[in-house]
């Protein structure tokens, strides 16, 4: 293991678990990427891990395929176990960013249990956005039918017009990015996440951000808030 100047591993005074929440299009993906780059915290997406695992010819992979084929959701306990395993790796030592987990209060409880085991503080960032602004943003969104990557013509344009940077497939305008569909999705999203937001707010772990600002000022404000919370080491843990 690489040591610091005095042979001790260099690490932050407190290691953080950052949870990113917000409706699709509210800007959390962009901000997660910027934060990951700034602090070296890996982005852990449970969706990506599950997709990888379910492709593998392993007993777990076969189990996952069976669960998904039957239209069921992977249980909270299995998801928490996957997060625990992934975040026990060396690259997560100084902190990590969670995307897609937790989605339910039960998962949130499992996450706080994990944070206690790992001795880490939790900061939950929720990006708020008004429906009309979201509609404006999402209608400029393109996605890749090949690998699922999402691009935005305003904040994250593909390098080549209409081509995916990752896999080269031709990008499409998502059919569900139509205004009525967006408004409906936002309503569903808010109804589903309200209990989770309340759970974290009650525990003083919630950081509410206005997702409508320009990318750079949002990032600066986010950094200021995160650093002031990390500064109060110990107080941020549940």
| Active-site residue list | 28, 103, 141, 174, 185
* CB closer to Zn ion, 142 vs 144: 144
In this structure, are residues 227 and 208 in contact, taking their beta carbons and an 8 Å threshold? no
Q: Is 14 helix (H, G, I), strand (E, B) or coil?
A: coil
Asked if 112 is part of the footprint of Zn ion (rule: CB under 5 A), the reply reads no
Helices and strands (DSSP H and E) totals, the chain: 8, 8
Asked if 144 is part of the footprint of Zn ion (rule: CB under 5 A), the reply reads yes
Q: How are the residues of the chain apportioned to helix, strand and coil, as percentages rounded to the nearest 5?
A: 50, 15, 35
Q: Is 222 helix (H, G, I), strand (E, B) or coil?
A: helix
Asked if 114 is part of the footprint of Zn ion (rule: CB under 5 A), the reply reads no
In the complex, minimum distance from the CB of residue 151 to Zn ion, in angstroms, rounded to a whole number? 10
Gap between the Cα atoms of 140 and 120, Å rounded? 38
Other beta carbons less than 10 A from residue 217's beta carbon: 10
Asked if 167 is part of the footprint of Zn ion (rule: CB under 5 A), the reply reads yes
Asked if 147 is part of the footprint of Zn ion (rule: CB under 5 A), the reply reads yes
E-assigned strand segments in 55-120 = 95-99
Which of 40, 146, 198, 231 is the binder for Zn ion (CB under 5 A)?
Answer: 146
Other beta carbons less than 10 A from residue 89's beta carbon: 11
Other beta carbons less than 10 A from residue 165's beta carbon: 15
Interface size with Zn ion, residues (CB under 5 A): 8
In this structure, are residues 92 and 85 in contact, taking their beta carbons and an 8 Å threshold? no
Sheet holding 141-143, edge to edge: 150-152, 141-143, 172-173
Asked if 171 is part of the footprint of Zn ion (rule: CB under 5 A), the reply reads no
In the complex, minimum distance from the CB of residue 176 to Zn ion, in angstroms, rounded to a whole number? 18
* CB closer to Zn ion, 150 vs 215: 150
* CB closer to Zn ion, 40 vs 146: 146
Site for Zn ion in 184-213 (CB under 5 A): none
Choose the stretch contacting Zn ion; rule: CB under 5 A; options: 41-49, 113-121, 129-137, 145-153. 145-153
Which of 164, 206, 209, 222 is the binder for Zn ion (CB under 5 A)?
Answer: 164
Which letter does DSSP use for residue 136 in this model?
H
Which of 10, 130, 166, 204 is the binder for Zn ion (CB under 5 A)?
Answer: 166
In the complex, minimum distance from the CB of residue 162 to Zn ion, in angstroms, rounded to a whole number? 12
Choose the stretch contacting Zn ion; rule: CB under 5 A; options: 24-32, 82-90, 95-103, 163-171. 163-171
Say if residue 111 is exposed, middle or buried (CB neighbours under 10 Å; 0-12, 13-18, 19+).
buried
* CB closer to Zn ion, 157 vs 167: 167
Name the residues that contact Zn ion, by CB under 5 A.
144, 146-147, 149, 164, 166-167, 169
């Amino acid at each position: 293991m690489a040591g610091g100047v005095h042979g001790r591993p260099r690490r932050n005074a407190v290691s953080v678990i950052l949870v990113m929440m917000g409706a699709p299009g509210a800007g959390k993906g962009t901000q997660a990427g910027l934060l990951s780059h700034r602090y070296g915290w890996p982005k852990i997406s449970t969706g990506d891990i599950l997709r990888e695992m379910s492709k593998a010819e392993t007993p777990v992979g076969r189990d996952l395929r069976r669960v998904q084929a039957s239209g069921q959701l992977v249980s909270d306990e299995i998801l928490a176990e996957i997060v625990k395993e992934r975040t026990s790796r060396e690259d997560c030592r100084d902190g990590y960013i969670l995307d897609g987990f937790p989605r339910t209060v039960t998962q949130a409880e499992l996450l706080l249990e994990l944070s206690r085991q790992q001795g880490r503080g939790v900061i939950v960032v929720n990006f708020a956005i008004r429906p009309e602004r979201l509609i404006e943003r999402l209608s400029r969104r393109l996605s890749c039918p090949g690998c699922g990557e999402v691009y935005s013509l305003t904040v994250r344009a593909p390098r080549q017009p209409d081509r995916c940077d990752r896999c080269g497939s031709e990008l499409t305008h998502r059919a569900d990015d139509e205004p009525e569909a967006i408004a409906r999705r936002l309503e569903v999203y808010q109804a589903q996440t309200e209990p989770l937001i309340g759970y974290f707010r009650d525990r003083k772990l919630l950081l509410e951000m206005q997702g409508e600002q320009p990318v750079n000022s949002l990032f600066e404000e986010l950094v200021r808030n995160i650093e002031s919370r990390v500064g109060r080491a110990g107080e941020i843990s549940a």
